[in-house]
A = this chain, B = another copy of it.
Amino acid sequence: MTELEIEFLPDKRRARVPAGVSVADAAAAAGIGLETPCGGEGLCGKCRVKLLGPAPTPTPEEIELLGDDLLRAGFRLACRARPESDVSVYVPPQSRRVEQSILVEGIARELVLDPAVTKSYVEVPVPSLDDQRGDLERVLDAAGRPRAACALPLLRELASIMRGAGWHVTTVFADDELIAVEPGDRGGSVYGMAFDIGTTTVVGYLIDLATGRQAAVASDTNAQVAHGEDVVTRIQFASEHPAGLELLRRDVVGVVNGIIAQCCRAAGIEKNQIYDLTLVGNTCMHHLLLGLPPDNLAVLPYVATVTSAQRLLAADLGLDVNPAGRCYVLPNIAGFVGADTVAVILAAELDRGDALRVAIDIGTNGEVVVAAGGRIIACSTAAGPAFEGATISRGMRATSGAIDGVSIAEDVSFTTINGASASGICGSGLIDAVAELRRLGVVDETGRMLPPARAHELPPGIARRLRGDEERPQFVIAWPHETPDGEPLTITARDVRQFQLAKGALYTGVDLLLEEIGAEASEVEELLLAGAFGSYVKRESAVAVGLIPALPLERIRSIGNAAGAGAKLALAARSMRERAEQVAHRVEYVELSRKPDFHLRFADAMTLSALIPGESKASGR
């Protein structure tokens, strides 16, 4: 059988396909998505491409939809044109399948869908004495992927699947491997899931890989919290308990599998339809998920077992998707800056452009990234899980019933996720609440809460909310009738202290990285606030409590769960995986504890007030 080589420009990607295959199918084989709203039926004319060489005789559809001038210039419809010899094909931008802004919250991103896993229906020629190709070669040729591999378990089933299906099968390829062959036409139902494995919270996104559409999202507490709230405690548990590592590994695998099941129910699909996973997390979460001993992450010089990206079988990790499913674990940067930070950098495109930009990812570990002039530096801060609710008396993660926004005027008003009765308060609600309490003087600059005895200094709607005693004052955010358990929901003086420790750690990270890169905070052109909050963090609140430098608000953007968004990008496009690997190599890790004045700066950074960046120094510029 004759084979052709079709080259696609400007991508310079090539596909070897049997003669007679359409340009659109060759493009799919080369991993290039084309606009085909009509489903490749030659009806919409959206998939026009230009053949830079001998173009086949136009079909009636092409004559109608393109017209003489375009046809003469070599334009054809990719779904109709079947080249008769090797040819280069130029794909104009408007003919490419583009997904706009759907994958990344808070950041408008155009992304050409090019998932690692693709599914297609093929009618395989029946063998004869004149065509004695092997079953595998036959189906690979028909799918236009003649050089793909196939693992032994599938190979052992292949002959009976192909014959049982009368040679009409749906193939599933992951990168350069045929991973599944299903009888008949199973359509385009290939799903993937992107996971952000946080120390406290695990979030999973179910994505339809044929369209890029998000079909479901679910999150759950990382069950490892039972063995310690922060990574250091878990590392101790892993090394001191005889089966510690295995217990922690099973915890997180169980949570991930639960989220997979939950998303499948929500979207009405089978787990079997999920063929690809991407996973990000900090380096400790990464090691625990992979079953790698995390011990050395906790001792000098804080070395990971592996930082490079891992391509695995989902089954190797115990993840419950299609048995042939793959997973891609994004690369880490260093012992305390993990794949989640790589994902934030991808989502925020900190690896592009020269401007001075800062991203803060607020989770159990707060990671800070500063990019400028081609350099990217990053650190991890011991922010702790306050923003995920763990150290806050009525804290909770951002699920239904969490207070995610608070404002105080005459009285307190708040919003909850899904509008449910207020069960607790999540990160964005906490930042708002502390900012408002500070503004009203309920809390002072040092974090001290007004004792109830001095409540009369406040407006009456506020004063009645101040409770407790001189030692342990607290402030009621939600009254008993507003909560499901009939208890008032309060913020305590101790909660404020926990908040200060967390935000102080983050601010110190920003402060020291800016120093490292040789820039003033006032020069920051964009500051991005990321985190798995319930709602986007209010910039005013973040500035007011001194969580971030007091920049003009238009330079501050809240971008939601950017780590999850980065994981989704790596799921949707293979090019993003390459880019993640480049990023992981490029980022310079800064060890904050080595900075001589770290503790002094940290103490200063706990102040609850707007921290005006480099005012005195800025005037000298």
Contact partner, A308, options B136, B152, B296, B335, Cβ 8 Å: B136
Q: Which stretch of A10-18, A155-163, A461-469 is in the interface?
A: A155-163
User: Contact between B293 and A160 (Cβ–Cβ < 8 Å)?
Assistant: yes
Complex A-B, nearest 6 residue pairs according to Cβ-Cβ distance, in ascending order: A134-B307, A136-B306, A134-B304, A127-B303, A129-B301, A134-B306
Bound-complex Cα distance A444 to B531 (A): 94
Which residues of chain B are near A226, meaning CB under 8 Å? none
Which residues of chain B are near A312, meaning CB under 8 Å? 152
User: Which A residues from 262 to 300 make CB contacts under 8 A with B?
Assistant: 290-293, 295-296, 300
Residue-wise, chain A 315-330 has the 8 Å CB interface mask toward B (1 for contact) of 0100000000000000
User: Contact between A128 and B301 (Cβ–Cβ < 8 Å)?
Assistant: yes
Q: In the assembly, how many copies of this chain are there?
A: 2
User: Contact between A293 and B156 (Cβ–Cβ < 8 Å)?
Assistant: yes
Which residues of chain B are near A150, meaning CB under 8 Å? 306
User: Which A residues from 106 to 141 make CB contacts under 8 A with B?
Assistant: 127-129, 131-137
Distance to closest chain B CB from A173 (angstroms): 15
Contact partner, A306, options B131, B137, B305, B332, Cβ 8 Å: B137
Bound-complex Cα distance A296 to B133 (A): 12
User: Contact between B134 and A305 (Cβ–Cβ < 8 Å)?
Assistant: yes
Interface SS majority for chain A: mixed
Which residues of chain B are near A135, meaning CB under 8 Å? 296, 303-306
Decide if A589 is an interface residue (CB 8 Å cutoff).
yes
Decide if A525 is an interface residue (CB 8 Å cutoff).
no
User: Contact between B152 and A307 (Cβ–Cβ < 8 Å)?
Assistant: no
User: Contact between B305 and A152 (Cβ–Cβ < 8 Å)?
Assistant: no
User: Contact between B156 and A295 (Cβ–Cβ < 8 Å)?
Assistant: no
Bound-complex Cα distance A454 to B194 (A): 89
Bound-complex Cα distance A152 to B308 (A): 12
Which residues of chain B are near A589, meaning CB under 8 Å? 132
Most buried by B among A132, A135, A158, A594: A132
Contact partner, A292, options B128, B159, B291, B296, Cβ 8 Å: B159
Bound-complex Cα distance A301 to B307 (A): 51
Closest to A296 in B: B159
Closest to A589 in B: B132
Q: Can you sample 24 A-B contacts with CB below 8 Å?
A: A127-B301, A129-B302, A129-B591, A132-B301, A132-B302, A132-B334, A132-B335, A132-B591, A133-B303, A134-B308, A135-B304, A135-B305, A135-B306, A136-B307, A137-B307, A150-B306, A152-B290, A152-B310, A152-B316, A155-B292, A155-B305, A156-B292, A159-B293, A159-B296
Closest to A593 in B: B129
Distance to closest chain B CB from A327 (angstroms): 11
Contacts A129-B300, A134-B303, A135-B303 known; 18 new A-B pairs at CB < 8 A: A129-B591, A129-B594, A131-B301, A132-B589, A134-B304, A134-B307, A149-B311, A152-B312, A155-B290, A155-B306, A155-B310, A156-B291, A158-B305, A159-B292, A159-B295, A159-B296, A160-B293, A163-B296
Most buried by B among A163, A301, A316: A301
Which residues of chain B are near A594, meaning CB under 8 Å? 129
